[in-house]
Chain A
């Protein structure tokens, strides 16, 4: 079964078109975003890297959120209430760029995504 979003994006990604961080989404993602936000501090990055699972537990992530973090499933993190501004701090810890994430969300390699941006960006409608 292919849904409308997948057809529109040529089945290259499981991501929805948009992730709006509304209040309900923010509530669902609170623990995940708070954990990712904590990574702005160097000592927290060290503690996270030493034991990622324990660090997730400390912040009360749901099993699904914890799995998404440990697997670096960026689309699942967004589906579970993640905000790009918080999850990007985890990506930076991994030395992954916003272009890398753009590629993940759109089913492209980082190089393909950068090429699409340099060609004027992706068009819709």
Chain B
């Protein structure tokens, strides 16, 4: 049976990827952010998953306004890296896990989550930057297969935080019922507080971010109880991306332990964070 081994919450700011691609991680502007990643990266390198289920949002690169799915799952055998308008990131193509995708789709539908499926999906920085946070130097191939899970956080109304948390629980159950012996990591991406347009552009709410960063571990219900308006008011119009962390949290067991976290301002126009959790499992005593 498949097993969720860890969950990673991380920002997916394009410039974090560009800093890695352009070898600027030691620059004074970027060094504090990447130094903050180091302990998590060491731990993850020692605990590689077979498949990463990456919960993210597309940014007008594969999903446009013709069709806006609230929740979608990639079902392809491979995903090209998107050209977002300034050339493709120099990272390997993403290899899918179509059997796990198919299982997730069926199980999620049985759990009353009526998701869309994507047979072709060019994955943008929302997915590739978190992969680079996990594995900064993949060489010719990423170290794990990927199932992309898309959440609409761009067009309002977005799914509620509570619905995202429930969606995560359904994903967790679905993963654990996958019959193959597969080690799975779940990524929740995006955030933290940021707003790109309007008079409040540049908004950072460190107090809210730090409260969220703490509560995601042991009190996710309090974060799931917040409304869309709460997220936009406190974290900015784009800070609502943080609801995708609740999908990751929902997929994990109730018993998790924090391996590492870090918080940094700014990464471009945003507050950036990383939090890594080991899944302790709600396993029964070993069968005899």
Pair B84/A98 contact, Cβ less than 8 Å: no
Give every chain B residue within 8 A of A85 (Cβ-Cβ). 59-60, 154
Pair A40/B85 contact, Cβ less than 8 Å: yes
Q: A16-39: contact bitstring with B at CB < 8 Å (1 yes, 0 no)?
A: 111111110010001001100101
Pair B196/A101 contact, Cβ less than 8 Å: yes
Question: How close is A31's CB to chain B, nearest CB, in angstroms?
Answer: 10
Pair B202/A40 contact, Cβ less than 8 Å: no
Give every chain B residue within 8 A of A18 (Cβ-Cβ). 195, 198, 200, 232, 237
A102 within 8 A of B: yes
Q: Which residues of B contact A (CB under 8 A)?
A: 15, 59-61, 64-65, 82-86, 154-157, 193, 195-206, 232, 237-238, 265-266, 268-269, 271
Contact status of A105 and B85, CB under 8 A, knowing A20-B156, A121-B204: no
Question: How close is B21's CB to chain A, nearest CB, in angstroms?
Answer: 15
Give every chain A residue within 8 A of B60 (Cβ-Cβ). 33, 37, 40, 83, 85-86, 89
Pair A17/B200 contact, Cβ less than 8 Å: yes
Give every chain B residue within 8 A of A83 (Cβ-Cβ). 60, 154
Prevailing SS type, chain A contact patch: helix
Q: How far is the CA of A84 from the CA of B196 in the complex (A)?
A: 7
Give every chain A residue within 8 A of B204 (Cβ-Cβ). 117, 120-123
Contact status of A117 and B269, CB under 8 A, knowing A40-B84, A98-B196: yes
Give every chain B residue within 8 A of A120 (Cβ-Cβ). 204, 206, 265
Pair A105/B206 contact, Cβ less than 8 Å: no
Q: How far is the CA of A18 from the CA of B156 in the complex (A)?
A: 13
Give every chain A residue within 8 A of B205 (Cβ-Cβ). 123-124
Q: How far is the CA of A125 from the CA of B266 in the complex (A)?
A: 20
7 CB contacts below 8 A, A to B, read: A15-B198, A20-B156, A23-B156, A85-B59, A98-B15, A99-B268, A120-B265
Q: How far is the CA of A121 from the CA of B268 in the complex (A)?
A: 10
Nearest residue, chain B, Cβ from A44: B85
Most chain A beta-carbon neighbours within 10 Å: one of B59, B61, B85, B205: B85
Give every chain A residue within 8 A of B268 (Cβ-Cβ). 98-99, 117
Contact status of A102 and B155, CB under 8 A, knowing A5-B199, A15-B197: no
Pair B155/A21 contact, Cβ less than 8 Å: yes
- Determine which of A13, A19, A33, A92 lies in contact with B85 in the assembled complex, contact meaning CB atoms within 8 Å: A92
- Determine which of B86, B157, B196, B200 lies in contact with A22 in the assembled complex, contact meaning CB atoms within 8 Å: B157
Q: A74-117: contact bitstring with B at CB < 8 Å (1 yes, 0 no)?
A: 00001000011110110011000011011001100000010011
Q: How far is the CA of A36 from the CA of B159 in the complex (A)?
A: 26
Give every chain A residue within 8 A of B155 (Cβ-Cβ). 21-23, 26
Q: A40-72: contact bitstring with B at CB < 8 Å (1 yes, 0 no)?
A: 111001000000000000000000000000000
Give every chain A residue within 8 A of B203 (Cβ-Cβ). 121-124
Pair A16/B198 contact, Cβ less than 8 Å: yes
Pair B265/A20 contact, Cβ less than 8 Å: no
Contact status of A34 and B64, CB under 8 A, knowing A18-B232, A20-B232, A117-B266: yes
Pair B271/A102 contact, Cβ less than 8 Å: no
Question: How close is B269's CB to chain A, nearest CB, in angstroms?
Answer: 5
Pair A105/B65 contact, Cβ less than 8 Å: no
Q: How far is the CA of A93 from the CA of B4 in the complex (A)?
A: 42
Pair A124/B197 contact, Cβ less than 8 Å: no
- Determine which of A22, A40, A117, A118 lies in contact with B156 in the assembled complex, contact meaning CB atoms within 8 Å: A22
Q: How far is the CA of A8 from the CA of B85 in the complex (A)?
A: 35
Nearest residue, chain A, Cβ from B266: A117
Give every chain A residue within 8 A of B84 (Cβ-Cβ). 40, 89
